[in-house]
Structure 1
Amino acid sequence: MTFGGLPTRWEPLQASRGLAIVAPGRAYPPSAPLLDLTRRALVQHGFAVQELWWDSTSRTEQEVAQPEPWVRRHVAAALADEDADHVLLVGKSLGTRAASYAAERGLDAIWFTPLLVEPALAEAIAANAGRQLLVGGLADDLWDAAIARELADNGCDLLEVLDADHGMGTDDAVRTAEIHLEVARAVDAFLRQT
């Protein structure tokens, strides 16, 4: 499968441990650094990976006002013909609106810059019995550090970066690369335990 000439499905060389669905951000596609590094780590750790590519700018007014059903519908469609025993969701910003879907099914998840300022999304993460990794930065207005620590106290793995913005970067290219390396290490450690 491809999207605009880019592959959307990746298979591990060894026997698959399960399937990971990657739900990107509004303006942060699966080919962007955090999601690309995560896709590589997932395949390395034996997961098949299905990337969702969407044009979030073509959503209806209702889908913009209530994005959760739109994201859930995309995730459910990606899983419709799958029979994996172990499903892991990866979401970035808009993609983290799949948290309620993950919670209903107890799915493991990696959430990049989840919209913790939205109570319903934070509650969905809190309700999930699956293992979860939360990644965010204190320079992100959509990240709530108090909620993140509360979720960590209740079992979520947490990587919080002091100077990272919503894109998990800064104005400094070298520092941004360092942050991405820190995130890649956290994802690798999480997958070693999943």
Structure 2
Amino acid sequence: MTFGGLPTRWEPTGASRGLALVAPGRAYSPAAPLLDFARLALLQHDLTVQQLWWDSTTRGDEDPEAWVRRHVAEAHAREDADHVLVVGKSLGTRAASYAAERGLDAVWFTPLLVDPVVAEGIAANAGRQLLVGGLADELWDPGVARELADAGCEVLEVPDADPAAL
């Protein structure tokens, strides 16, 4: 599979242990450094990586959460994997409720913790989760991050980092 000539799917060199769906940010593609490094790490851990590519300007009036959920659900439906991990960056973290409904493990880079729908989706997920955010990010709420950590999420806060730095 390709998007604009770029590959969107990678298979590990050995047998795959599962699938990672990578949901990017609004203006942060899966090929940008943070998500590309994540792709490399996921491959090293024998996960198949399927990137989702989107043009968020085509969303129109559709609710952002519904729009992201639809894209993640469509990608998930095309796959047959016993273990699925969702990796979301910024806008892609609006898939938190989708992951929670299915108990999927997740990595959330710069999650929109000031949005109650995103925070509630993360809190409702029985799967393992890692949240990575910067204390200089206006969309990162340290209080919500502490509550999620107390509830079992792994949380990494990066001092002085904003979304562009991550």
Q: Same fold (TM over 0.5)?
A: yes
Report the TM range for the smaller structure's normalisation: over 0.9
Q: Give the number of equivalent residue pairs.
A: 166
Question: Does 1:115 find its partner at 2:112?
Answer: yes
Distance 2:34 2:100 in 1: 23
Partner of 1:54: 54
Aligned positions of 1:97-116 closer than 5 A: 97-116=94-113
- Cα-to-partner distance string for 1:80-125 (whole Å, 9 max, x where unaligned): 1211000000000100000000000000000001100011110110
Q: TM-score, normalised by structure 2?
A: 0.98
Question: Does 1:133 find its partner at 2:130?
Answer: yes
* Gapped regions of structure 1 (runs ≥ 5): 170-179, 181-194
Q: CA deviation at 1:72?
A: 0.6
Q: TM-score, normalised by structure 1?
A: 0.84
Partner of 2:151: 154
Distance 1:137 1:56 in 2: 23
Q: CA deviation at 1:59?
A: 1.6
Partner of 1:177: none
- Counting aligned pairs with the same residue, the percent is 77
User: Displaced runs of 4+ in structure 1, greater than 6 A?
Assistant: none
Partner of 1:70: 67
Distance 2:138 2:9 in 1: 33
Q: Secondary structure at the match of 2:49?
A: strand
Question: Does 1:82 find its partner at 2:84?
Answer: no
